[in-house]
Amino acid sequence: MGKLAFVACGVVGVGLALPFVGGARARGRNEDPTRSITVGGITRTYLLHVPAPLPRDARVPLVLVFHGGGGHARNMPRFSGFDALADEQGFFVAYPESFNTHWNDGRGLSPADDMAFIRALITQVEHANAVDPKRIYATGMSNGGFLSQRLACDLADQIAAVASVAATMPEPLVPMCKPARPISVMFIQGTKDPLVHIEGGTVARKNGRNISLAEATAFWTKVDQTAPGTSVELPDRVGDGTHVRKDVHGGGRQGTEVVVYTIENGGHTWPGGSQYLPAFVVGKASKNLDATQVIWEFFQKHKLE
On the question of a cis peptide bond just before residue 19, with omega within 30 degrees of 0, the verdict is no
Strands 201-202 and 209-210: antiparallel
pLDDT value, residue 30: 60
Q: How far apart are CA 193 and CA 246, in angstroms?
A: 17
Taking the CA atoms of residue 15, residue 113, residue 299 and residue 79 in that order, the dihedral angle to the nearest 10 degrees is -20
pTM for the full model?
0.92
pLDDT value, residue 113: 97
Q: How far apart are CA 44 and CA 61, in angstroms?
A: 22
The answer to whether 47 and 74 are in contact (CB under 8 A) is: yes
CA atoms within 13 A on the CB side of 188: 31
Alpha-helical segments (H) within 104-233: 114-128, 143-154, 213-224
Cβ within 8 Å of residue 181, ≥6 positions away: 156, 157, 254
Among residues 84, 106, 137, 115, the alpha carbon closest in space to that of 295 is found at 137
Q: How far apart are CA 202 and CA 79, in angstroms?
A: 25
Full set of structural domains in the chain with CATH: 2-300 (3.40.50.1820)
The secondary structure element, H or E, covering residue 247 is strand 243-249
- Can you list the residues of the chain whose pLDDT is less than 70? 1-30
Query: How long, in residues, is the chain?
Result: 305
The answer to whether 166 and 142 are in contact (CB under 8 A) is: yes
What are the pLDDT digits (tens) for 13-30? 433 333 333 334 444 456
